[in-house]
Amino acid sequence: MAESIRVDHAAHHDDHHGAHHGGHEMSFTEKYVFPLDHKMIAMQYMFTGMFMALIGGFFAYAFRWQIAFPGTEAPLWGQVSPAEYNSLVTNHGSIMIFWVAMPVLIAAFGNYLIPLMIGADDMVFPKINRLSYQIFLISAIVILSSFFVEGGAFGGAWTAYPPLSTKAEYSLTPLGSTLWITAVALEFVAFLLGGINFITTAMNSRAPGMKMWDIPMVVWMIVIASILFMLSVGPLLAGGIMMIFDQNLGTAFFNPDKGGDPILWQHLFWFFGHPEVYVVLLPAVGIVAEIITVFGRKKLFGYKTVLYTAIGTGVLSFTVWAHHQFIAGIDPRMANVFTVTTLLISVPIAEMMFVYIATLYGGSITLSTPMLWALSFIFEFLIGGITGIFLGASGNDIFMHDTYFVLAHFHYTFYPIAIIGTYAGFTYWFPKMFGRMMNEKLGKLHFWLTIIPFNTIFLPLFVLGAAGHHRRIFDYRNFPELSHPWMWDLQALATYSLIVMLLAQIIFFYNVITSWISGPKAPKNPWNANTFEWTATSPPPHGNWPEGLPTCYRGPYEYSHPDRKGSDFWPQNEPG
């Protein structure tokens, strides 16, 4: 049985025996609950991530209400207590990074796009892929369950610095802090399994003819991001194990009373934490590369330059971590070194942005919804990058540390990555994923109602931060000499903008659901794009190309090629 199935399909995998390629009808459980199909696993990751984003967004609303209107009850939440405030802030950060940005950008887009874009019928290890999602789902349940245990959810910030995080008498969350670190560790295991799959698939399962320089940029970016993740996560896993021991077994790795060192955790955390920024950034810039070439009808300006800058960024990202610790008591000479490396890392990223602008220059640009998201990514991320240069300089950082300026800076990087990048990719590949076209009018309305409030949330926070407003203060009424009326006005503006932005997401979900049900049927290639996924039917069936896998004849970005007569695109699979 298994043998005959293996012969029927072109791609075979070392670790499974073709059982999921069977011709029999799959039950609901096989197809949707425990799927082996990379596209279905991608959808599981995508919708779990979006669900977690709603929770993370709601947390942001609750604590933003407390910041702007302390002492009043937040509608739908109630009065925010100091302990609740801490756990809301902590879990907003943790969820948005580990349970939204990572699963959606790497796991969902990686799972969906890698086999389709390199011309494979599935991942090389489909069962490991399924296991990866299951572990991720358990980790999501663990982090959410921490809100319902005695003492409440962990409130020691997403960085979890000891001794606050290791001693229950300080954190007051004896169970919550252990559940938090357990959830994070499980989540890492899930992405470790996913990353192994992504890299192995992209290296070993490419369609015949697809050379290294023919791989679409988003696949490269997810591969590089996975390598960065795998190189950086080990030390933090070690730190996580040590923290669980400290919390529950009475060891003293991070406890200075008994010979430990709390600063060590910071090093372990940020050795992972900084590359992590690039782990989620790279897939987003890869998505943007796909979109700007398709809607600019131009070849990507400097394919290899983008690739090399991504690798350069990855290498440099391992040398910048201590810029998070400038005031943690590290040697000032070491701070100087890390200032230099931090400022250096803006060079490859800036180069990448210049390449994108050069790609757009002279193109015939269509301002469709995905293109609007892609263009806004470049614009908003530049603001985040440029404000990072201020913070990378250690002298300036001593003043700016822990102010709203820092907060606004990293939201100007993470928001374009996790939210704008996701919307760009989701609206671009929606016709492929669901076989229907999205409503452009609603898409653009949603775009503007998300982008404008986003800027009116975080631009005021730059001003507040530069004026010295401190991000850890629960209730600024207790510091009347530090808070002027104009500061309260800007905080209220940010909170009102957040509410508008959250409400605007209803438009998105309405658009997704109605388009999915009754949108116009999508053709195979609605955007006239070159890459392989647009040669499969929309949505692609199990196995992606039942009639046989495609063959690659050229690079992915041959738009408006002078040798091509009669059309401005040249699909990768067309001979000639």
Partner 1 sequence: MRTTSPPIRLIAAEHGEPKVISNGVLGMLLFVLTEIMLFAGMISVFNIVRASSVVWPPPNQPRLPIEETAVNTLALLASGLCFYLAQRRFAVSRPSARLPLTLALVLGSFFVLFQGYEWISMIARGLTLTSSTLGSFFYLIVGMHALHVIVALGMLVQTWRRHAQGWLHPSQLATTGVFWYFVVGAWPIIYWRVYW
For partner 1, give the closer residue by CB, 155 or 283.
Answer: 283
The span from the CA of 25 to the CA of 8, in Å, is 17
The span from the CA of 348 to the CA of 322, in Å, is 20
125 binds partner 1 (CB under 8 A): yes
Query: 120, 345, 360, 371: which one contacts partner 1 (CB under 8 A)?
Result: 120
For partner 1, give the closer residue by CB, 3 or 481.
Answer: 3
Interaction mask 212-251, partner 1, x per CB under 8 A: ------------------xxxxxxxxxx-xx--x---xxx
Query: 23, 169, 257, 258: which one contacts partner 1 (CB under 8 A)?
Result: 258
Query: 59, 65, 98, 253: which one contacts partner 1 (CB under 8 A)?
Result: 253
Interaction mask 67-106, partner 1, x per CB under 8 A: ----------------------------------------
Q: Residues 225, 163: contact at Cβ < 8 Å? A: no
The span from the CA of 167 to the CA of 254, in Å, is 10
Interaction mask 507-536, partner 1, x per CB under 8 A: ------------------------------
Number of shown-chain residues binding partner 1 (CB under 8 A):
51
- Chain-centroid distance, C-alpha 402: 23
Residue ranges of alpha helices (H) inside 69-173 are 82-94, 109-118, 126-145, 168-171
Q: Residues 106, 280: contact at Cβ < 8 Å? A: yes
Cα angle 271, 277, 281; round to 5: 145
For partner 1, give the closer residue by CB, 209 or 435.
Answer: 209
Written as six digits, the tokens of 20 are: 């999921």
Q: How far apart are the first and last CA of the chain?
A: 40
CB of 263 to partner 1, least distance (A): 9
- Annotate 336-361 with DSSP letters as a single string: HHHHHHHHHHHHHHHHHHHHHHHHHT
328 binds partner 1 (CB under 8 A): no
Cα angle 407, 459, 105; round to 5: 60
For partner 1, give the closer residue by CB, 261 or 351.
Answer: 261
- Find, among 347, 388, 356, the residue nearest to 374 by Cα: 356
334 binds partner 1 (CB under 8 A): no
For partner 1, give the closer residue by CB, 25 or 257.
Answer: 257
173 binds partner 1 (CB under 8 A): no
110 binds partner 1 (CB under 8 A): no
Residues that bind partner 1 (CB under 8 A): 2-3, 6, 10-15, 17, 120, 124-125, 128, 192, 195-197, 199-200, 203-206, 208, 230-239, 241-242, 245, 249-253, 258-261, 264, 267-268, 271
